[in-house]
Amino acid sequence: MSSDNTFVTCRCHSCAGGIEFERELFDPENPATIECPHCGSETQLYTPNENQVSQNAPAQSTPATHKRVSVGRSPRISLTPKQCETTEGYELMTLLLEITHDGLVNANGVRRLNAWLEGKANSDLPAAKYLSQLPERLGEINTATAFEIHFAIERVLPKRFRADVKQRRQEAWMHSPLKPKATEAQLDYIRGLGGTPPPGINIAEASQMISELLGESDSLPSEKATQSQIQYIRDLGGTVPVGMTKLYASMLIEKLLRSGEGQPTPRQIMVLRFWNRLDLAEKSKGEIEQWLDQFYRQDGRRKGAWALYKYRNKDDGTQRDPSWVAIGEGEKCLQEIAATRRMVGLIFLGVVGVVVIVVVLISKLIK
């Protein structure tokens, strides 16, 4: 922060570089998104607390200097009290509260929003214009698009409603049909604990059910982990320590489940495109990891094919856009590796043949 409080400093969410901007031009209800002057990534400006420390980047990547940026005052898109008193503003506010009442916005709610926006194409409300420009509201509603639309709705609602809408979204996400379904390992573990998983149970609900079933047991903390727990940990890709107790196994299972709940990483989507398996893109990060491990174990050349493709395209691991990977290139690279190995084998046999002939000729000359 500058000595006269004219400028304030926040940090980039990608590289943690310091960004200085004018306090007077900052709108906390409509924070500007800019290109970071350090790393070039898009980042949203904010006014940090005095003791706030960025946790989004490692210390060694933090630039030593701050860079000042010029920020214009962004137009307000949230509904103002005066706009909410108009017929159009009141309609929009009421509709947004209705479609978010049960939590994360769903396909039916998006259809209602689209119908209202189409009927208000000439609206002067900044909130209506902003929502009309959302590309996510058109097409199939999946996890990612539902979140984008819901965040946009939270942004345009009057400030007094946002906290409740956010809380309901977080609670509803636990039971959302958009959340990845429970894995077979989870379902087997629930049955092994004596539970009956309901149809359509998702990964978070299964995790909660496992915790409840484990909590109902009267086992002492010192009791050894059950075979069901041990097998489940291995199915999740975990390592079973010697002498593991039931309590520790339960904690380890929860940790492994949380690490695998997230959406696939960009690198995983790249690999799925490479092998033309985008049908797995809706799986969780952990499920895709398990599939890849098995897929590579079945044929060791597959990992080499992916490495060859990355080398040819000069991929240094920093790529974040999966679209650079052509769909279905995996089999082509695999065929090239097989052809190369055959050629190397033929050359090797040829060399061996020549060596044998030379040895025979030399032996005859010696005789």
> Are 273 and 367 within one domain?
yes
Token pair in block for residue 133 = 């420009």
Q: Looking at the domain assignment, is residue 141 inside a domain? A: yes
Q: Looking at the domain assignment, is residue 76 inside a domain? A: no
> Are 132 and 218 within one domain?
no
> Are 188 and 147 within one domain?
no
pTM over 0.95? The answer is no
- Largest CA-CA distance found in the chain, in angstroms, rounded: 113
Q: Give me the pLDDT at residue 356, please.
A: 73
> Are 272 and 253 within one domain?
no
Q: How many CB atoms lie within 10 A of CB 242?
A: 4
Strand partners, 44: 33
Token pair in block for residue 134 = 């959302």
Average pLDDT, the chain: 76
Crossing angle between the packed helical segments 203-216 and 184-192, to the nearest 10 degrees: 20
When pLDDT is cut at 50, 70 and 90, the band that residue 252 belongs to is: confident
- The number of domains in the chain is 4
How far from 298 is each of 45, 240, 288, 295, 356, CA to CA, in Å? 48, 24, 15, 5, 37
Q: Looking at the domain assignment, is residue 179 inside a domain? A: no
> Are 92 and 123 within one domain?
yes
Q: Which domain holds residue 198?
A: 184-260
> Are 26 and 12 within one domain?
yes
Q: Looking at the domain assignment, is residue 1 inside a domain? A: no
Token pair in block for residue 317 = 């691991």
When pLDDT is cut at 50, 70 and 90, the band that residue 91 belongs to is: very high
pLDDT digits (tens, 9 = 90+) for 316-352: 766 667 888 888 888 888 888 878 777 766 677 777 7
> Are 230 and 250 within one domain?
yes
According to DSSP, residue 298 is labeled H
Main-chain dihedrals φ then ψ at residue 174, nearest 5 degrees = -60, -35
Q: Looking at the domain assignment, is residue 275 inside a domain? A: yes
The span from the CA of 228 to the CA of 213, in Å, is 13
